[in-house]
Amino acid sequence: MSLKAAAVLYAKDIKRVSTFYAEVAELTIVHSEADHVILESASFQLTVVAIPNKFAASIEIASPPIRRENTAIKLVFSISNIASTRAIAARLGGELNPVDREWEFLDCRVCDGHDPEGNVVQLRERIEG
């Protein structure tokens, strides 16, 4: 593995959360153990780490999950197509905002959403032009 920009995300259900990021953020699972999963793209690495059981037992994830918007960090991923990803996110327990809440920024179409545990995520799609 080469060194790249990276983030660590703690999750109650690492299998569900890592599957979400593999499919929605177009990352590849490169390593998996009982307590963590490493996903990568050409320039980024995301490690999903299991929240220790003594803490996880007290965390309740609502269905659908409640967005955790009061946090200092938001993961941002460049993807190929926001529109087609919207259904994938929903199938995997997350959600993207509707089309009317997308915006443009730095030659990209941008959309916020959340993963299956409510962590806010932003997706960016390059605008051809």
- CA distances for 46 relative to 37, 80, 106, 128, angstroms: 8, 18, 24, 27
Residue 86 has which token pair? 């919207």
Q: What is the DSSP letter of 20?
A: H
Residue 85 CB burial class (10 angstroms; 0-12, 13-18, ≥19): buried
pTM as predicted: 0.93
Question: What pLDDT sits at residue 128?
Answer: 83
- Give one word for 32, left, alpha or beta, with left for phi > 0 and alpha for psi -120 to 50: beta
Would you state the pLDDT for residue 2? Answer: 64
pLDDT in tens, the chain (129 residues): 568 999 999 999 999 999 999 999 999 999 999 999 999 999 999 999 999 988 888 888 998 899 998 889 999 999 999 999 999 999 999 999 999 999 999 999 999 999 999 999 999 999 987
DSSP letter at 57 equals T
Query: Which residue bears the tokens 């946090």?
Result: 71
| CATH dotted code for 5-51+66-126 | 3.10.180.10
Beta bridge partners of 75: 121
Q: What is the DSSP string of 73-112?
A: --EEEEES-HHHHHHHHHHTT-EE--GGG-EEETTEEEEE
Cα 94 to chain centroid, rounded: 9
